[in-house]
Amino acid sequence: MIYLQVTRGVADRSFDMPKNEIQPTVLAFTQEKKIIESEGAKNGIKVMTLDDMRWKRCDIKTTQLLYASMAKTEATLKGFDDAWMIRQGYITEGSSSNAWIIKGKIIMTRHADNLILSGITREAIFKCAKDLGYEVVTKNISLQDAQSAHEAFITSATAFIMPVVKINSNQIGDGKPGKFTTALRSEYIKQAIATAI
């Protein structure tokens, strides 16, 4: 895996944006990690829910990831793999992923607004789902909607599509990765490899 991070650049310590032109700073590192053949993809992951305590510009990708780190840490300490955040009764997203559910042959995720980071993988899922004949609906998803879903999954650049088999104490479906999620993951990987540089 190669991770790239681009900042606005180096400037004097001040809270206003630099008025002069500055050069962006680029940081990159590699990490060896199983992405396609992972345990989570094979067996599914468990998520717990937490209040979304982040600021209201979650659509801006920054290095300010303190609450996401706190949420993920709390989830793992309690035996879960990740956390889904809830604001005003609706799921926004995971600590570093987008949240999705499936009911019948309809895939649902939150609409893109300032309360989620839409994500490039999220955008790719719309095409993959359409290619497989699924309908994707963007809407507010309540915890009750999620816990009664036939399937659930997360998406991110490093997880691709990861099946969710438990939300809090509720098992999703039969507690195993669902057939639609599995098919969607395969299609995403196929399309990603076909378009890779």
**Residue partners of 146: CB distance under 8 A and separation at least 6:** 84, 91, 99, 101, 152, 167
Distance, in Å, from the CA atom of 67 to the CA atom of 36, rounded to the nearest integer, reads 28
Distance, in Å, from the CA atom of 99 to the CA atom of 91, rounded to the nearest integer, reads 8
Type of residue at 161: I
Q: Which residue's structure tokens are 């036939």?
A: 150
- From residue 33, how far is each of 3, 59, 147, 195 by CA, in Å? 12, 27, 30, 21
Contact (CB, 8 A) for 175 and 166: yes
Got the DSSP string for 93-121?
EESSSEEEEEETTEEEEPPPSTTS---HH
- Tell me whether residue 61 is one of the annotated catalytic residues: yes
Pick the catalytic residue from 56, 61, 127, 179. Answer: 61
Give the catalytic positions in this structure: 61
